[in-house]
């Protein structure tokens, strides 16, 4: 839940896109099950920023181009769309990441101007949720902390790829000073 202070706060919703949900090209088990919680949370925040994987078709992370992932979240394709149950009108901002073919990016802060935008909005604290806890949520949270923000990860509104990697990611974030809210 958002902290109780007077400064504006932001919720960062990471990559709740069709390709990461059941039926997508890179589905996270029960990834769609966090959507009702996220929809409820969004109404509690001054700002809601959504990150969106936005890969060109020849992205370096795709197996066909030497990477480790199947093609996913291709710019303009249905798999890159936000899940239809997600209340996207609540988004105050959308940040697209990993849009260069030659650069793999997990964090919503890499090459997006997100830190500058948050500072411009007077944000000092961010809560983070979404997909996947052990990849893009973790990277976004760690970069938010490095950028000087107070950070909490809302686990009830996150899903990871594997239990082992998710447990390790939670511990890594905790060690970095990120508040883990279960």
Helices and strands (DSSP H and E) totals, the chain: 4, 6
Set 21, 129, 136, 158: catalytic member: 136
What is the domain extent for residue 36? 9-53+83-95+102-181
Mean pLDDT of 57-79: 95
- Assess if residue 155 is contained within a domain: yes
Catalytic residue (choose from 15, 19, 143, 150):
15
**Residue environment code for 42-80, b if the CB has 16+ CB neighbours within 10 A, otherwise e:** beebebbbbbbbbbbeebebbeeeeeebebbbbeeeebb
DSSP 99: -
This prediction has a pTM of: 0.95
CB 64 within 8 A of CB 56: no
Is 15 an active-site residue? Answer: yes
Number of domains present in the structure of the chain: 1
Q: What is the pLDDT of residue 5?
A: 52
The reply to whether 138 belongs to the active site is no
CATH number of the domain bearing residue 156: 3.40.50.850
Residue 97 bears catalytic tag: yes
**Per-residue pLDDT tens for 85-138?**
999 999 999 999 999 999 999 999 999 999 999 999 999 999 999 999 999 999
**Which residue has tokens 């899903």?**
159
Catalytic residue among 19, 97, 129, 150: 97
């Amino acid at each position: 839940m958002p902290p109780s202070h007077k400064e504006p706060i932001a919720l960062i919703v990471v990559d709740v896109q069709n390709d990461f949900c059941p039926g997508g090209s890179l589905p996270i088990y029960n990834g769609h099950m966090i959507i009702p919680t996220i929809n409820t949370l969004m109404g509690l925040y001054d700002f809601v920023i959504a990150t969106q994987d936005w890969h060109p078709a020849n992205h370096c992370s795709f197996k066909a181009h030497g990477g480790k992932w199947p093609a996913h979240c291709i710019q303009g394709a249905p798999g890159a769309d936000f899940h239809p149950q997600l209340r996207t009108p609540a988004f105050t901002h959308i940040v697209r990441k990993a849009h260069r073919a030659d650069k793999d990016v997990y964090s919503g802060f890499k090459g997006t101007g997100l830190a500058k935008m948050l500072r411009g909005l007077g944000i000092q604290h961010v809560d983070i949720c979404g997909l996947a806890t052990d990849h893009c949520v973790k990277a976004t949270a760690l970069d938010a902390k490095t950028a000087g923000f107070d950070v909490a990860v809302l686990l009830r509104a996150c899903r990871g790829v594997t239990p082992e990697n998710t447990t390790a990611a939670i511990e890594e974030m905790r060690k970095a000073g990120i508040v883990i809210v279960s």
